[in-house]
Structure 1
């Protein structure tokens, strides 16, 4: 019976061979109906047809020559089809279902043809049994081979996907810069996925944080783009240019729903939102763009923008796996971009806060010519708490301040503002540098207590220097801050010779916030023409240079004679900071001026009430010599009251000093530390009106304390225009 079956099957095969094309078409038609997902990929149609054709040919071959499946090999087209299906992300269940449908269809065709050749029921049953047994064995062997090929291709695809994701993790988000992060995404996308990639972000999210914009106000800014072609010729929108998508368009829907989209593009079937732009239509036709992906940027539940991936040189269209891969890479980039965006906003806010707290212009003061620079740190480091200040003091003196709050961001900037305000407040009561830092240390300790235990410890450094143009003495104290550089004036014999840059021999106290440790004031002469350079450690320290090298470079630059302080500031930054600094930098240069001795008059007075008239006469005589007779009455009255108070309530020695600069200052010093106070005298009181008269006549007045007592001073504006410069500077 087996011989009859084999012969009969051979006859069936010979009758079916001429109809092979028809059989293939029937099988393909049936598979299209039953497994439509396989035919969704246009580039799989030909491999599928070839696979079916080779399977039919192989089955007919076995029917003609007898089944021997011990060495059967799956047709090459079937292996190729399985591999391509895996590369497109197709499911293995689709492949196996196609085999089952094909097997059933071939059985039906052979049995139908056999029914035409015989009416013997026994032969028909034998043929059916033989067909079922042999074809099942054939399908088992060949499907096992194509499944192996499918799994191998799938593993390669998954490995490639992991490589791309890993590469994206390494190359995207290397900085906290929005444009650079977006450009990194575009470059990775064109290297592994597409031929042209664009990255657009919502313009509103770049300007400020807030709720997602309404869909009818969809304005985006092109942040980055990259192409396999030089110059991105496919681009219809230049980088950093704004554009918009129509409300309800597919990009708008993808952006606000967060769902990615894949599009096939042809000249005959172009999406309306693309067809509406002549530039887009030209790019599609000129470069042959055939597929694109729309991948929205979402981070922390809010839309940020959209990335577009295009293919034109790669003939393979995007598939579902490409869509998933692009979505995964883009989602990672979205987090980095959102971090960069938030950091940029915070840094801009901190920088704006810090700049608002720093002097907008270095105050001009007759006692010293000054110039300053503030340079924020690089993007990753964040804005710090460096600051500087120039504070006018009584007696024609000037205070130079520089400091650094430990930490970064808004908190450091806000703390810096609080400390700068505290320094200005303490400077108003004319404390000695060491006493001022002691009080400032108490302020920092109080701030630490107010912040609570869960807050970071507040720490800062500060240098406070006071220059007196009358004595040409500079007094300074340091709380953990690097000492300033001092450049002596050029010698008369050789004005072009490089001076010897040095640092004062002064102790450096502990940083602010430790408490209980003393500060010391150092005094040194600072003659006319000298240069004092105050700076924070960010100027001389870096990851590639030790502080000693930085100080050596600082000395070299300062030793070069340059009359312009502004140019000196620029040269210091250029030489010491060739790249963006890792830490904030504050720099303050001061060139002191000495006050001409003819504009400072001093009179020692005994503690005798009769000397008040002598003091008045002394003052009016010198006002006449200075041609300030218009101030004689008010000055005489103020000198009389101040000297009277010193004789009545103070201790010897008593000294009257008159200083003529941009204002006229009258000072009376005595050895008592008793604090004078302004009080309201009653109608019949015989005293208590002296300081009230001084306060009414003077532009400014106050008290400062020295090691030996106190000084009460009063300033008057000089006659003439408010901006008329004062004289008396050497």
Structure 2
């Protein structure tokens, strides 16, 4: 709620006028006296004036407020019986013995005295600029500081009215008119008062303005109080820029990002243009030089900023290598951390030399330049330069000190980013060296992998993928994600991938393999310094091209997706078990039929998270988006590398990926029914001869006569072993592809073992013979019993 404004007192308001004749009688009693003392004129006129006096209340030196020169304070009787302190002055009336008594209540006199003293004090002090402006904004009254500041000019123009930046983009004149129009004061509004001479420093003032009223209470001017806060403003600005350099600019772990943050900090706060050039070795994470002998094409401009529009086309652009600049002593000063200040454009041109390409480093309209080397731990990482073109102001020692403080902090942050870049590249190289080839082809599937390491401060993670050939032409597809980032996660990933390959060679089922992998993570956690951070998720799938089945088990990993040949896409609904390292819970196997030509997609959680960050939706929305993209790009017969590229490429340029992105694609194949044959035999001795006979007939039909003899021997030994050590029926299956697979299945759980038979032994040479006649052999357990399998190479020419 607005407070009512008091009307200024009119001169002589409240003055008491009384005329006393030579006999001391009151002859004239003005209305002001009646209002002050309560007596009507009829009650006083003709009475002795002495009757109005009360007892003396103050010695002359103790009169309230000291009274005023030419009079004294008297205690006059009020009609109510009280006393009123009145300052009284007696004036003789010429030509008579009468006197004129003028009186003012002490309270009124003290108010006049304070207001008058306040005005005189403000206009007499010489500390800050105090002035009273008329409606035309010309100065009517002012303190000596106003004249000393050059504001009292012959043309009547006050530089204050051109002050910029007052409460936004308004000028000082706009603000003064606002005060007069709104009749409301403005307190501590800051603005810049520019000197008309180029090269002079701008001055920052804090202005307080209040309306001035005439005797009728109308606004007829404005009072301004101006305080120079230039140094305070510069100190605050320096602290702010140094703080921002410490907190934001020097906190990034990317060299290019740090450089761009630096020019964003310097422009427009310090200049109109700024550039940062970085040594090529710094960008690669290598060791930058400790001393430079000029510039010889080994520094690249990585960041630019222009305060008044895009970067000029005629200047060296971001990404270009600097032209050659000859060596000179100033480079030694820069290497020692000194700031180079050049307020003469000709001097700056001479510093760069006469190379025509070097002229592209000089901005148009250059007025002043300042630069410094980015030096950290005795190494020259690069350079930073700031230019003033439209701002006609020279750089001074305060600017040099500020730039030195900023660059010192930024250089340390940039060196940290350089070392992080080196370590990150080493970690990525290690990660890539531990991953399998990106593409592979087997009888079961064609596979292709995509791996993108995390960006920003997260560092490389522990994601991995693998495609492991199994027995009987099957293929295992694996994707895993280790908790955490850095070399520790990479090392854990390597151990888990090796373990998966070893366990896969044992032909374990997906659930059994994850169980044993979980035990391994438990043992690794016991060895780790921080066991709570040890863990991983993993998805293990086995695809069989003969029966076209895919058996999947998950340890806390995202569910895989499949795109059928007709273009329909869906997620394989699996029951995810706990992540590796939790323990105590079984893993469930989900079996689905996958038509040949389908594309299986196994991925890490980073793909979903990156998609969610890009689209800004929920996790479920991101999953749906990934599935929709996969359906769009996974056309029939389209190369898997192209599918992976189209699926991941939109996320490659996403800034600050917090996690690795891993994708494994597999296009399934199928073994034709004509390329597989199977039989069941009762557990009788005649089964061996019958098995040899059927195998020979089948190989003749396939045109594999050259393998008939060796295959007969293999089948004879395996079926004989099954009759000897197992009970129940015996299964035999042949599969023809790039190799010939022979499988013998029985009900025994005993593991066949290859051993060296002695000369006196009657047996023990069967598996040795099998190993000599085949390229690979092994055994695997099923839900009941086991299967012994062999592989023989098929001559492509045959």
TM over 0.5: yes
Distance 1:239 1:226 in 2: 13
**What does 1:196-207 correspond to in 2, within 5 Å?**
196-207=273-284
**Residue of structure 2 in register with 1:343 after alignment:** 420
Higher strand share: 2
**Residue of structure 2 in register with 1:37 after alignment:** none
In the TM superposition, residue 642 of structure 1 has moved relative to its aligned partner by 1.8
Distance 1:236 1:540 in 2: 40
Distance 1:328 1:318 in 2: 15
1:414 to 468, 471, 491: 491
2:759 to 677, 683, 688: 683
**Residue of structure 1 in register with 2:352 after alignment:** 274
In the TM superposition, residue 476 of structure 1 has moved relative to its aligned partner by 1.6
Distance 1:634 1:503 in 2: 42
Q: Answer yes or no: is the 8 Å Cα contact 1:89–1:320 preserved in 2.
A: no
Distance 1:575 1:719 in 2: 45
Q: Answer yes or no: is the 8 Å Cα contact 2:481–2:536 preserved in 1.
A: yes
* Structure 1 residues 554 and 289: CA distance shift in structure 2, 3 A: closer
1:240 to 296, 316, 320: 320
**Residue of structure 2 in register with 1:183 after alignment:** 260
Distance 2:260 2:630 in 1: 42
Distance 1:270 1:554 in 2: 55
1:374 to 446, 451, 456: 451
In the TM superposition, residue 398 of structure 1 has moved relative to its aligned partner by 1.3
In the TM superposition, residue 167 of structure 1 has moved relative to its aligned partner by 5.6
Distance 1:187 1:153 in 2: 23
Matched, 1:261 2:340: yes
**What does 1:527-566 correspond to in 2, within 5 Å?**
527-541=595-609, 542-543=612-613, 544-557=616-629, 562-564=635-637, 566=640
Distance 1:313 1:557 in 2: 50
* Structure 1 residues 237 and 476: CA distance shift in structure 2, 3 A: closer
After superposing the two structures, state which structure 1 stretch, 564-573 or 362-371, moved more: 564-573
**Residue of structure 1 in register with 2:509 after alignment:** 432
**Residue of structure 2 in register with 1:304 after alignment:** 381
SS of corresponding position for 1:192? coil
**Residue of structure 2 in register with 1:154 after alignment:** 231
1:637 to 713, 725, 733: 713
After superposing the two structures, state which structure 1 stretch, 345-354 or 416-425, moved more: 345-354
Q: Which has the higher contact order (CA 8 A, sep 6+)?
A: 1
In the TM superposition, residue 175 of structure 1 has moved relative to its aligned partner by 5.3
1:221 to 291, 294, 300: 300
Distance 1:556 1:289 in 2: 55
Superposed CA offset, 1:276-327 (max 9, x none): 534446866x846454323121335543222122334433321110001112
In the TM superposition, residue 621 of structure 1 has moved relative to its aligned partner by 1.3
**Residue of structure 1 in register with 2:784 after alignment:** 708
SS of corresponding position for 1:200? strand
For structure 2, which runs of at least 5 residues remain unmatched after alignment? 1-142, 152-158, 160-193, 204-224
* Structure 1 residues 245 and 690: CA distance shift in structure 2, 3 A: farther
Distance 2:643 2:280 in 1: 41
Distance 2:564 2:371 in 1: 67
**What does 1:307-386 correspond to in 2, within 5 Å?**
307-386=384-463
Q: Answer yes or no: is the 8 Å Cα contact 1:226–1:232 preserved in 2.
A: no
Q: Answer yes or no: is the 8 Å Cα contact 1:225–1:239 preserved in 2.
A: no
Matched, 1:611 2:705: no
**Residue of structure 1 in register with 2:552 after alignment:** 476
Distance 1:591 1:536 in 2: 18
What is the RMSD computed on CA atoms of the aligned residues? 3.7
**Residue of structure 1 in register with 2:579 after alignment:** 511
In the TM superposition, residue 78 of structure 1 has moved relative to its aligned partner by 9.2
SS of corresponding position for 2:422? helix
Q: Answer yes or no: is the 8 Å Cα contact 2:338–2:404 preserved in 1.
A: no
State the TM-score, normalizing by the size of structure 2: 0.66
Distance 1:449 1:387 in 2: 23
In the TM superposition, residue 209 of structure 1 has moved relative to its aligned partner by 3.4
Q: Answer yes or no: is the 8 Å Cα contact 1:88–1:319 preserved in 2.
A: no
1:390 to 467, 470, 476: 467
Higher helix share: 1
Matched, 1:463 2:463: no
SS of corresponding position for 2:381? strand
Distance 1:413 1:597 in 2: 43
